[in-house]
């Protein structure tokens, strides 16, 4: 019976390590907390083989998960605490800004493309066409595209 429990402990450790590896290569997948919890429960089960038959296992799992979650949040906050704030752009904030046509803009559809502050937007113009390379100004914004006029 003890050999079966010991192998379960090793399996838990291996699965935990696999979860941590996945989290390392795909940050934000949120497998670090369960991975850490599985590793700790696996180690505890190797040290105390009868732990699986004890209600103490639930307490250890919950406490370990809470500590792991707290540490993960703290580590992510350190990693992501750069001095730059996340950039958000609302459709109304584009009105009046200038940009550059990177794909010909016409009035028939939104297949045209303009670059405004290093971001590409689908665009159309009020009438006619605006060729690539021309400077434009945003006069209106509709959903995910902008309406521009040549400057």
For tokens 């949120």, the residue is 30
Q: What is the pTM of this model?
A: 0.45
Rounded CA separation 49/14 (Å): 17
Selection from 3, 4, 1, 38 nearest residue 19 by Cα: 38
Q: Would you tell me the crossing angle of helices 2-25 and 32-47 to the nearest 10 degrees?
A: 160
DSSP code, position 50 = G
Whether residue 124 contacts residue 144, with contact meaning beta carbons closer than 8 Å, is answered with no
Strands 135-142 and 119-125: unpaired
Q: Which residues pair with 115 in a beta bridge?
A: 100, 120
Task: Give me the pLDDT at residue 6, please.
Answer: 55
Average pLDDT over residues 121-126: 91
Across all residues in the chain, what is the average pLDDT?
82
Report whether pLDDT(28) > 80: no
- Report the 10 Å Cβ neighbour count for 102: 15
Whether residue 96 contacts residue 138, with contact meaning beta carbons closer than 8 Å, is answered with yes
SS3 (DSSP) at 118: coil
- Band of the pLDDT at 61, cuts 50, 70, 90? confident
Selection from 18, 54, 57, 59 nearest residue 36 by Cα: 18
Per the document, the length of the chain is 151
């Amino acid at each position: 019976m003890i050999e079966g429990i010991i192998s379960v402990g090793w399996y838990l450790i291996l699965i935990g390590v696999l979860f941590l590896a996945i989290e390392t290569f795909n940050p934000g997948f949120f497998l670090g907390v369960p991975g850490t919890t599985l590793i700790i429960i696996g180690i505890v089960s190797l040290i105390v083989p009868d732990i699986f038959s004890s209600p103490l296992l639930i307490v250890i799992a919950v406490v370990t998960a809470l500590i792991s979650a707290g540490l993960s949040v703290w580590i992510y906050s350190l990693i992501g605490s750069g001095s730059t704030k996340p950039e958000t752009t609302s459709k109304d904030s584009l009105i009046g800004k200038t940009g550059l046509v990177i794909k010909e803009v016409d009035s028939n559809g939104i297949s045209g493309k303009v670059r405004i502050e290093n971001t590409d937007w689908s665009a159309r113009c009020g009438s006619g066409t605006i060729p690539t390379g021309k400077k434009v100004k945003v006069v209106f914004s509709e959903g995910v595209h902008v309406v521009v006029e040549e400057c």
